[in-house]
Amino acid sequence: MRNFLVEPPNIDFLKIRKLGYALSIGLLIISLALFFTKGFNLGLDFTGGTSVQIKFKKSLSTSEIRNILKDVKLDDALIQEIGTQKDEFEIRVPAKKGSSSEIVGKIKAAFDKAFPNSYEIRKIDFIDALVGEEMKKASIYSIIFVMVGILLYIGYRYEPIFAIAAIIPIFHDAIITLGLFSLLGKEIDLTVIAAVLTVLGYSLNDTVIIFDRIRENIKLRGRKNLETIINRSINENLGRTVITSGTALFSVISILIFGGESLNSFALALLIGIVFGTYSSIYVAAPLILEMERFIRGRVQREKVVKPEVK
């Protein structure tokens, strides 16, 4: 392992790039199909609804509260622990379950029966569906804005083909992450959108590091054997990629296991994004440079052949 980190290996990543393309295209098709068939489980931030903050006189768990809410058919609500004393919780119920007054009445009825005079409703918030719709649009715009910014930045810093090779994996990572959320039926709220945006930045960082090494090696060795240069560049950065991704994964897995229900979706989005962001940097972004370079060279060669000689 020590030698692996000190001396770059000689793995032929581009040899199986077509398998990587097939895997990515398959996952993208499945994800897009899920978007239009199953859709998304949108959270309160986007659908509107009621948030009730309750403090109890004894410590409880989210599972105990969920069991109590079964009697009033609100056990599918999002229950988040507040603080570290396990005696204060936020219950978030979507607007489709009823009006704010109806939901508060059901929650009171459930807890009056289970804990009479042993709880206090500290705060009630109602998020209008119109506000949720505006948040949904703002989230979509923010993702588009990030992608356009990345395209302009990479296009300015590198050659245009590098910009295209960087932006395609960004779409790839975002679509697959959201596709898995659709498949699992996990709730998507503003924290998940924040996680997706974080993942896009992480994926770009890994891609830019590889692109920098490719550019350096092109300056040293020229573009004649681009496939070898790209493979060499990936291998030279592989130790750094493994350390960075591995450290990030350990942190995210810890949040996923110990962070509680409120951070579950956020951590899951980061976990999916880091895995596919690392994968796409190696098997999508870097090989795309080779494919586009070959396409451009082939087109130039064809134009030279068909172009009539000027006498």
Query: For the segment 87-139, what is each residue's pLDDT rounded down to a tens digit?
Result: 888 888 887 777 778 888 888 888 888 888 888 888 888 877 666 677 778 87
Q: Report the CATH number at residue 184.
A: 1.20.1640.10
Domain of residue 34 covers: 2-41+131-305
Q: So what's the pLDDT on residue 131?
A: 65
Total-model pTM: 0.78
Q: Are residues 199 and 186 in the same domain?
A: yes
Q: Are residues 157 and 252 in the same domain?
A: yes
Q: Are residues 98 and 143 in the same domain?
A: no
Mean of per-residue pLDDT scores for the chain = 82
Instruction: Flag whether 185 is in a domain.
Output: yes
Give the count of beta carbons closer than 10 Å to the beta carbon of residue 22. 11
Q: Are residues 15 and 136 in the same domain?
A: yes
Q: So what's the pLDDT on residue 311?
A: 47
Category of 83 on φ-ψ map: left (φ > 0), alpha (ψ -120 to 50) or beta: left
pLDDT tens-place string over residues 5-15: 567 777 888 88
Say yes or no to pLDDT of 310 above 70: no
Q: So what's the pLDDT on residue 2?
A: 52
Q: Are residues 15 and 74 in the same domain?
A: no
Q: So what's the pLDDT on residue 307?
A: 60
Please compute the mean of the pLDDT values over residues 79-85 and round it to a whole number. Answer: 75
Q: Which range is least confidently modeled, 78-87, 159-168, 245-254?
A: 78-87
Q: Report the CATH number at residue 90.
A: 3.30.70.3400
Q: Are residues 136 and 118 in the same domain?
A: no
Give the count of beta carbons closer than 10 Å to the beta carbon of residue 26. 10
Q: What phi and psi, each to the nearest 5 degrees, are found at residue 141?
A: -65, -40
Residue 308's pLDDT band (cuts 50, 70, 90): low
Q: Out of 127, 150, 182, pick the residue that ends a domain.
A: 127
Q: Are residues 95 and 243 in the same domain?
A: no
Q: So what's the pLDDT on residue 304?
A: 65
Q: Out of 127, 142, 176, pick the residue that ends a domain.
A: 127
Task: Please tell me what DSSP assigns to residue 9.
Answer: -
Q: Which range is least confidently modeled, 75-79, 104-108, 179-183?
A: 75-79
In degrees, rounded to 5, the angle at the alpha carbon of residue 267 between the alpha carbons of residues 263 and 268 is 120
- Cα 77 from Cα 89, distance rounded (Å): 12
Q: So what's the pLDDT on residue 34?
A: 92
Instruction: Flag whether 311 is in a domain.
Output: no
Instruction: Flag whether 310 is in a domain.
Output: no
Instruction: Flag whether 35 is in a domain.
Output: yes
Residue 23's pLDDT band (cuts 50, 70, 90): very high
Q: Are residues 139 and 267 in the same domain?
A: yes
Start-end of H helices in the chain? 2-6, 17-37, 44-47, 62-69, 100-114, 129-157, 160-184, 190-221, 226-258, 261-280, 286-306
Q: Are residues 249 and 142 in the same domain?
A: yes
Q: Are residues 147 and 60 in the same domain?
A: no
Q: So what's the pLDDT on residue 163?
A: 81
Instruction: Flag whether 154 is in a domain.
Output: yes
Q: So what's the pLDDT on residue 3?
A: 56
Q: Are residues 209 and 142 in the same domain?
A: yes
- Cα 256 from Cα 264, distance rounded (Å): 5
Instruction: Flag whether 152 is in a domain.
Output: yes
Tokens of 302: 């064809």
Q: Are residues 159 and 33 in the same domain?
A: yes
Q: Out of 65, 94, 127, pick the residue that ends a domain.
A: 127
Number of domains in the chain: 2
Residues 6+ apart with CB under 8 A from 193: 139, 142, 143
pLDDT tens-place string over residues 209-264: 888 888 888 888 776 788 888 888 888 888 888 888 888 888 899 888 887 777 78
